[in-house]
Amino acid sequence: MEIFKADRIEKKFGNFFALNDVSISVPQGSVFGLLGPNGAGKTTLIRIINQITIPDKGTLTFKGRPLKPDDVAHIGYLPEERGLYKKMKAGEQALYLARLRGVPKDTALKKLKEWFEKFDLAPWWDKKIEDLSKGMQQKIQFIVTILHEPELLIFDEPFSGFDPINTNLLKKEILNMKEKGSTIIFSTHNMGSVEELCDYITLINKSKCILEGPISKVRDNYKSNVFELGFTGDEEKLKASLNGNYELSDISAEQGIKKALIKIRNINPEENQLLSSIIDKVHIISFTEVLPDMNEIFIKAVQNANMQLPEEMKVQQK
């Protein structure tokens, strides 16, 4: 079941399409990656979900019914462009923002104290925001985004400016929230984080959806029938055992174990046939399929989509 669905959304600014016939379906309890190059339309879609702006065409549903203005109470949004009142004290501001989200004062204070302790912010409770580092300020904004325990969370580049330790801290909390039933829309340019966190993705390029689905299926669709073979023995015998259906490359050795990449050229590859042809020529240690990472897929999908644009649009988009 999806918690949120956008169907055939269109949004124009003048003659420029920010979104053109864009549809997404966000399954409940998932981490959903909203991906795309700069200027693709991601932020426009996020603003539409938060009802900051409205689409020109299309429908939006939340929990199976049309999205309503008061549904924003069930959504937490951490924008890429952060904004806190510099002269306010950290704890005072966090409490103020929690109260705006409808959290009772006593409950908000208790939760905020717990989160400030967890994120090593407790000593800074009475310090002005301008005295905090950028990373500390971002942690405060993360806290106030999730404090009212929204059903749908939207994080736009949540790790921007964080060191690896604090990035891992936030990743852990995102996965904890997913386990507790929250649904997360996660927008980022960091494809490594996408592989770690996301269950589903949609890739938007130049206002259109060009790729979508479960991340495991997306990676499977982009595989190139390449396998990594770990072995010991004579590599010349390995080469001699392979016919024209196979392409051998990148033989390396580490701690006495050799590794080679073998590409199966058949349209319908059979790994068992490959193994049977080499099993008595070398001693096989490991045999695994090499799947493309999300960074490779992102680049390839965007390049392919750009090549398919009409000439007049290529000129317009330059």
pLDDT bracket for residue 51 (50, 70, 90): very high
* Averaged pLDDT for residues 294-310: 85
* Averaged pLDDT for residues 53-65: 95
Residue 286: the pLDDT is 93
Residue 309: the pLDDT is 58
Answer with the residue of higher pLDDT: 28 or 243.
28
* Averaged pLDDT for residues 295-302: 92
Residue 223: the pLDDT is 87
Q: What tens digit of pLDDT does each residue of 131-190 get?
A: 998 889 999 999 999 999 999 999 999 998 788 999 999 999 999 999 999 999 999 888
pLDDT at 288 over 80: yes
Q: Which of 1, 33, 16 is nearest to 193 (CA)?
A: 33
User: DSSP readout, 85-111?
Assistant: -TTSBHHHHHHHHHHHTT--HHHHHHH
Q: Which of 121, 73, 72, 69 is nearest to 93 (CA)?
A: 121
- Considering the segment(s) 2-220 as one domain, its CATH architecture is 3-Layer(aba) Sandwich (3.40)
pLDDT at 312 over 60: no
Q: Tell me how far CA of residue 93 lies from CA of 85, 97, 106, 121, 148, in angstroms.
A: 8, 6, 15, 13, 15
* Averaged pLDDT for residues 297-304: 92
Residue 313: the pLDDT is 47
Provide the percentage of residues in the chain whose pLDDT is more than 70: 96
- Considering the segment(s) 224-289 as one domain, its CATH architecture is 2-Layer Sandwich (3.30)
Q: What tens digit of pLDDT does each residue of 235-269 get?
A: 889 989 888 889 888 788 888 899 999 998 876 66
Domain boundaries, the chain: 2-220, 224-289
* Radius of gyration, CA atoms only, the chain: 24
pLDDT at 16 over 60: yes
Q: What span, in angstroms and rounded, lies between the C-alpha atoms of 284 and 232?
A: 7
Question: 222 φ, ψ to 5°?
Answer: -100, 5
**Both tokens assigned to 26:** 């966000």
Domain 2-220 matches domain 224-289 at the CATH topology level: no
* Averaged pLDDT for residues 285-303: 92
